[in-house]
Amino acid sequence: MKRTYADLHLCANINEQSQLASLVREASTLGYGSVSIPLPFNITDQHVQRIREACVQVGLDFVSRVDLKPRFPEELLRDLRKVRRRFEIVAVMCYTKVVARQAAKDRRVDLLNFPQPDFRKAFFDEAEAELASNCLASLEVDVKPLLSFEGPARIRLLSNLRREIQTAKAHNVPTVISTGVSEKLLMRKPTELAALGVLFGLQGELAKAAVSSNPMAIIKRNRDKLSWRFVAPGIRVIRRGKDC
């Protein structure tokens, strides 16, 4: 069966139509089937539809996404109540340990993303992995820092990523590799993302799954939940009508 590849973190500027069109066209050319672009909380349905149409024109499936950047657990909980039914992908950018742990244990969170400055205050550790393994969150790794960092900073980054991936594997937490880029020159083929995964500990099928079956499983699960047919896990509406 042919794989469908997805980039769940294509950081296009949705207010620059020419840049958006260029990036989604390049994503299609590189072999992706689905792309997810972070959107603001207050985006209108009409704006989302225009983005979706731009993707459809080049043969891409568009997946709506929101990146939450809370400073405190209480802020995260408040934001999740606002966005979970509005977006197909909910990612939490984990800048602190308390936020990371709250996000890892909340079933409304799809992706745990640990931004990669030179020196980080938060990273994916055993505590988050254990919590995430009991929920539905995956670890998202953006490759943009790998492409932009040089020298000691890149070495430290690879060391951190190897540790995090090993922790995720030990607790059966799925990994998703995304680009995280906003520039066409930094975009890479999905097979190249999988190859980069080897550098931080994802081998063979695990690396391929990180750009295909893992992100696609998140998309399918959430679209099922957002469907009018969904009642609860394992319960679906088959038919509506007076004779039911």
pLDDT, one tens digit per residue, over 46-84 is 999 999 999 999 999 999 999 999 999 999 999 999 999
Q: Which amino acid is at 137?
A: A
Going by C-alpha positions, the residue among 43, 35, 164 that lies closest to residue 94 is: 164
pLDDT (0 to 100) of residue 119: 56
pLDDT (0 to 100) of residue 236: 57
Q: Is the residue at 74 inside a domain?
A: yes
pTM, entire model: 0.90
On whether the CB atoms of residues 24 and 6 are closer than 8 A, the answer is no
Cα of first residue to Cα of last residue in the chain, in angstroms, is 38
Q: CB under 8 Å to 179, separation ≥6 — which residues?
A: 7, 9, 10, 11, 142, 143, 144, 186, 187, 188, 193
State yes or no: pLDDT of 25 exceeds 90: yes
Cα gap 60→166, rounded to integer Å:
32
Q: Is the residue at 56 inside a domain?
A: no
Q: Is the residue at 125 inside a domain?
A: yes
φ, ψ for residue 236 (rounded to 5)? Answer: -130, 150
Q: What share of the chain is helix, strand, coil (3-state, %, to 5)?
A: 45, 15, 40
| Structural domain containing residue 93 | 66-183+190-236
CATH number of the domain bearing residue 145? 3.20.20.140
pLDDT tier, 232 (very low <50, low <70, confident <90, very high otherwise): very low
Burial class, 65, CB count within 10 angstroms (exposed 0-12 / middle 13-18 / buried 19+): buried
Mean pLDDT of the chain: 91
Q: Is the residue at 27 inside a domain?
A: no
Cα gap 94→101, rounded to integer Å:
9
Sign of CA dihedral 104, 108, 112, 113: negative
Q: Is the residue at 109 inside a domain?
A: yes
Q: Is the residue at 241 inside a domain?
A: no
Per DSSP bridges, beta strands 34-38 and 6-7 are: parallel
pLDDT, one tens digit per residue, over 27-55 is 999 999 999 999 999 999 999 999 999 99
Number of folded domains that form the chain: 1
Q: Is the residue at 17 inside a domain?
A: no
pLDDT, one tens digit per residue, over 92-150 is 999 999 999 999 999 999 999 999 765 566 789 999 999 999 998 999 999 999 998 88
What CA–CA distances, in Å, run from 55 to 7, 27, 34, 184? 13, 10, 9, 15
